[in-house]
Structure 1
């Protein structure tokens, strides 16, 4: 979904038109490469109207819903059509296609049968739609308003993205629509473990709530850490874990319309913040990585993730976080280039002077010699001029919100730096 958000941000800044299409019965368009036979349903007759013998089969000429290759064949057919129209598939994201002719630019993003078109002029989108109609049956949905459950609202100031309708449905199904709101999604300094509390009798209910919360994190970085932590107990959830889920729902109750805001300003500089909380998992002693990626003032991508191995020091944990964040930054930079955005070298901020020193000083370090080679990718990017690494004060480390549960004043301070917006809030 980061590609969708990036496309919205660039469209807001460059004043591109945003339109949406829906392909009708998309999976029926795919051509089959294999020889596949299907048993005919009872009562099916041949072309002359004669009944067919029992157990009659037919050979499929096209894909149908239910075939495991149906989605692949549909995407292949659609991709071929776009390539014939002069589009180029982007290596950074194969669902993103772009075409540039002089000052005219058009980008198309496809997610199964839902399509978003961003173009410099309205006529470009219209001509593309007419060309696609020659090959596919489609519906024109007009300006982008609702995409994959995400509510899109555009003004002269920018584009807002939220999941208010989804959040209300979640609260209703959980019986929490009338609950008391909370100002934070998780109790400060809470350290959940696998052994806390009593095993739940209905584990499916817990998994369902956590799974639905995961989808809400598409536009809610403020609950990402809490939801990521709760996902770690899905195999054997306990009462303490369910209590923490209800705490998140209480927070959502008070911020139901909150979402992302992509400003229409012209700043498209890529910058990121990376942080780690060392050894805080009581079960594995592994650390938590958190990073946020901004284009201008707009939050595009973020992540909260438990590190795969135990770190021997806080500096090592921070360095591993740097490596993961640098890879995400490189990918986003590639997408910006694909969208014809001319930007300066991206900047990555860390509040760990030790981790910054390890990254910029390529000499052999006795305490870090065991770190996997792939973690040193950040050094290569620094040496090649693909990345700048700077120190930031701990109190301004935005990614801290993705590594641990914070006190209300800390949480509110960092949240104010994440370009979140509530279009439903009273002015």
Structure 2
């Protein structure tokens, strides 16, 4: 792949004038998107444009817009569409679908709806993909009313839904807790002769997990296998996550035996055992993870650090925290909070302060880290230092959690008395009636 990219870049260099046409350019861009290389697709397009060998059409622009969506550069994607309009290029249903999808991914539901209406005003008829994008977008937001409305409009226009469309509708029903409707639609889809796939089963399985109906979950898994659909690790992770959430992590572990898990599988099991306080389960899962050879991510590190604190393996927690940069992982607010809170709970305040100092010089910004250290300092009777931290918190424009505020005021009262607390509260600009809550 790297060699192929080098060749493509050479072909658009100053000394080479390969006759790229729009079809070739679009095909290459789409190809790079499909293999998860949208940044290469954008670079390839820019090289083609700079070489003067390309005059993009709507197909090329649609492929490029898809690349910008995948890269999270939606504003640049919008600029691309606006430049198309200025050039007088006719937009089609495929491009509008891609554009609307970008708005949904950025949480701009009303703007997505406006683009759909603009599409109709331009006389462009939505196709199956267009309607599916709209249905999927509103389903993920739980707007089932709009979803049903679009389905009716779709059928009225003579546009036939496909398995992806129906899966999106089922997702909406499940998100609203209407699992029975989702399951009924599932049966109707099969009666229509539409071949169901793993994604549809996974959507229903997730809905059944949310409902806590694990008999239905395992019934659906059996149904998949009878249809010759082998559940992937994604589907198994949904089941494992559902069981862990209701305190049935040991059962989830048994499900895990049927699949080669990924880092999400291990993280979910570690989280489940940690929440249950199951030390044996934590140790067993940690050992399996180490043997698996999987690369850790930040989520897995955070869960494992919390688990280490739970079993009293403080040095292991510190070692993993310090090893994160070597794994090309940056500590996030949860990492810092877990470390600070873990040390504070066992009275190791000096080590908590060390981690807090590391947080302060990082690029992470979180009031939760301040809450953790202030709480720990108050419990250790280190009120003066806690006050200094809260002053710094205010200077950064953060607002302290009310519960931590009351803890600090109580600790200050026990050391400084009422007059000292009054001066402290006045200095921070708190309301006087807050004192009556002491």
Higher strand share: 1
- Tell me the TM-score normalized by structure 2: 0.29
TM-score (ref. length: structure 1): 0.30
Q: Tell me which protein shows more helix as a share of its residues.
A: 2
Larger radius of gyration between Structure 1 and Structure 2:
2
Higher relative contact order (CA 8 A, sep 6+): 1
